[in-house]
Amino acid sequence: MKTLTLNILSFLMIVLTYGQNGGLKNEINNNFPVNALMFLSDSLIISGGSQSSSNVEETVELTYWNINSDEDTRQFPKTDIPFETLAFSPKGDLLSGGTSKKTNNLYLIRKDNTIYSLNGHSDGVNAIDFSPDGHSLASVSSDKTVRIWDVFTKKEVKKFQGHNDEILAVDYSQDGRFVASGGKDQIIKIWDVQKQKHVADLTDDFNSDVTCLQFSNDGKFLISGSSGNTIKLWFIGTKNVIRDYLGHKDKIKAIEFSPDGFFIASLAVNNEIKIWDVETAEDIYTFKEEECNISSISFSPNSKDLAIGCGSKDNTFGKIELYDIQKLIAEYYMYDSVGKEIDKSSLFAQKDEFESTIDYKIRIKEAEIFRQQLYEKYYNQVIAQKAEKRKIAIEKIKNSKEEILLRIEYLGYYDADNEIFPVSIKGKTLNINVPLTEAKSFKQNFDKITVIADKIMLEDG
């Protein structure tokens, strides 16, 4: 841990801390272990957790927290269903919970405590995700299926099959069109929810289970975590891994993009959390919780805070910790600049004999406000630089576009159910959509067809 000492006072040392727990902003104690949480706004968090003991029947509690006042503002009624996985709707007005039971393993709960059982999975439910509009729900199970549910009718809309082993992770794209799933068969599958079909497989040298995944906000990228302690960034356009994030010493439990897309937060089973730079794969900050078991992580909508939820070792209580990502980013990228401005400021000067205690305390408060303003200033500079770099890269991609003429080198067997022909062009296998009514003619004449294509630089470089 690096510590820059600014001024030593007779009874107080003001320090700018760089290192373990240096970004801890606030703690909110909870009567229940926190098994899941999510930001509803920059200042409002919803959390959920279950509690059980030899004397108490298992119950689940859902609470809304205002992080500025540490007060719970609303509560879901408690339920005695032993949930092992939880998910919240985007507005926080619905909860879905899954259990490891063979039947009666998926539920939808409203705030008035109306509970609906969603029947379909024949084995335990391992992960759940609501669509961004909150109208649908995706669930994955040890029965090797992905199921899509209508939240209003409480009915199954679609069952996707294709995985060869238990599915452990699921995530909706931000436009609600696609769902990604992954699990013990070490394959990530992309499903088109609107067209109700499988569209892509993402495979790499995993040699381990896919334990968690998430789409980027623009839907072009996907991050995945594995039981092999690795994190991978995928470019969906080419189905290739473009970056690995290495450093965890235990399997990845949860993973999340910051909403601005510049950073990644990851949680390992050993209670270690890392903040990564998406572009450089740098480990910006690492901290580890020793006192409780961390279950979940969530970025605030403005990307400036990270909330973590955890439960005590004996599963009797929990807490939410709030980390100041703005501070951590400013310190990591602008360490010298932040330190120099603080050193120059008279707000941090040593108390002298002509300053009253009251005036001194006022000045110390002003110093803390000034320091937070510095963090915000330099954080905004870092984000602006990253945004400008991204803008230049996108413009470069646009200007690289050129039209080329190609021939189909090989035509595979037609998939009549999905109306797809696998073709080989320039040694690359692609799937193209050909209507069933035109498929025979296409096959007879494919060697005479000229393909007009756009050659363009891809976002994976």
3-state secondary structure of 341: helix
> In this structure, are residues 446 and 408 in contact, taking their beta carbons and an 8 Å threshold?
yes
Q: How far apart are the first and last CA of the chain?
A: 36
Q: What share of the chain is helix, strand, coil (3-state, %, to 5)?
A: 15, 45, 35
Query: Are 207 and 109 members of one domain?
Result: yes
pTM summary value:
0.81
Give the Cα separation of 180 and 86 in Å (integer).
18
Give the Cα separation of 223 and 254 in Å (integer).
11
**Domain boundary residue, one of 327, 357, 382:** 327
Which phi and psi angles does 95 have, rounded to 5°? -125, 140
Residue indicated by tokens 């120099």? 340
Question: Is 154 part of a structural domain of the chain?
Answer: yes
Query: Are 310 and 409 members of one domain?
Result: no
Question: Is 336 part of a structural domain of the chain?
Answer: no
Long-range contacts of 49-58 (CB under 8 A, 24+ apart): 49/309, 49/311, 49/318, 50/82, 50/83, 51/315, 51/316, 51/317, 52/82, 52/315, 53/315, 53/316, 58/82
Query: Are 302 and 409 members of one domain?
Result: no
**Domain boundary residue, one of 292, 327, 362:** 327
Query: Are 164 and 300 members of one domain?
Result: yes
The pLDDT value given to residue 406: 83
Q: Which domain holds residue 276?
A: 23-327
Number of domains in the chain: 2
- pLDDT, tens only, 329-356: 999 999 888 888 888 888 888 888 888 8
The pLDDT value given to residue 451: 79
Question: Is 3 part of a structural domain of the chain?
Answer: no
Query: Are 316 and 422 members of one domain?
Result: no
3-state secondary structure of 437: helix
Query: Are 193 and 303 members of one domain?
Result: yes
> In this structure, are residues 42 and 305 in contact, taking their beta carbons and an 8 Å threshold?
yes
Question: Is 337 part of a structural domain of the chain?
Answer: no
Q: Which residues contact 160 (CB under 8 A, 6 or more apart)?
A: 145, 146, 147, 148, 179, 181, 189, 191, 198
3-state secondary structure of 67: coil
Question: Is 354 part of a structural domain of the chain?
Answer: no
The pLDDT value given to residue 78: 64
- pLDDT, tens only, 3-45: 332 222 222 222 333 333 468 888 888 777 888 888 888 888 8
**Domain boundary residue, one of 278, 301, 327:** 327
**Residue ranges of the chain with pLDDT lower than 70?**
1-22, 50-62, 69-79, 206, 397, 400-401, 454-461
Question: Is 148 part of a structural domain of the chain?
Answer: yes
Question: Is 350 part of a structural domain of the chain?
Answer: no
Burial of 116 (0-12, 13-18, 19+ CB in 10 A): middle
